[in-house]
Amino acid sequence: MATVTAQLTLTSTDLLTDSLSITTTMTKSLVDGTSGLARKKITSTAKGTASGQVELTTASEYTSPNYLYVKNTDATLTDYISIYDDAGGDVDVIYLAGGDFAIVPIFSGQNLKAYAATSGTVIEWMVFGTAA
């Protein structure tokens, strides 16, 4: 069984009265159902227009718990990507400005799709299932 480790480090010398330094690590054992790393241009600039949106995961494709790694590869801050749950009332659940990334735990019942502020913005993503 494969494993994946994610590490997050937050540091700042001027956010609080004292210096901030937090590091946390998460290691997960993977099971069948890992999507592999993908990149694709988003050409849709509005929610609800099926053409040009990028489907990241479909409902019940993976067994919970599973995780989504997603990155907006665009360098322009205002070229954001919105990710919404098409199976849950079209609610936006993730907003990534240019250069942003996230690792998010997701439910197996979500149908996640992405649209962008600017047509041609490239999204990078991977879904991986874990051993519960």
Listed by start position, the domains of the chain span 33-129
**Pair 102, 28: CB distance under 8 Å:** no
Q: What is the pLDDT of residues 90-124, one digit of tens each?
A: 889 999 999 999 999 888 778 899 999 999 999 99
Q: Which of 47, 43, 23, 37 is closest to 128 using CA atoms? A: 37
Quickly name the fold that domain 33-129 has.
Jelly Rolls (2.60.120)
**Pair 72, 98: CB distance under 8 Å:** yes
* Euclidean distance between the first and the last CA atom of the chain, given in angstroms as a whole number: 13
Q: Which of 73, 42, 45 is closest to 55 using CA atoms? A: 42
Q: What is the pLDDT of residues 33-78, one digit of tens each?
A: 677 899 999 999 988 766 889 999 887 777 778 889 999 999 999 9
pTM: 0.87
Is 68 exposed, middle or buried, given 0-12, 13-18 or 19+ CB atoms closer than 10 A? buried
**Pair 121, 74: CB distance under 8 Å:** yes
Q: Is the pLDDT higher at 2 or at 80?
A: 80
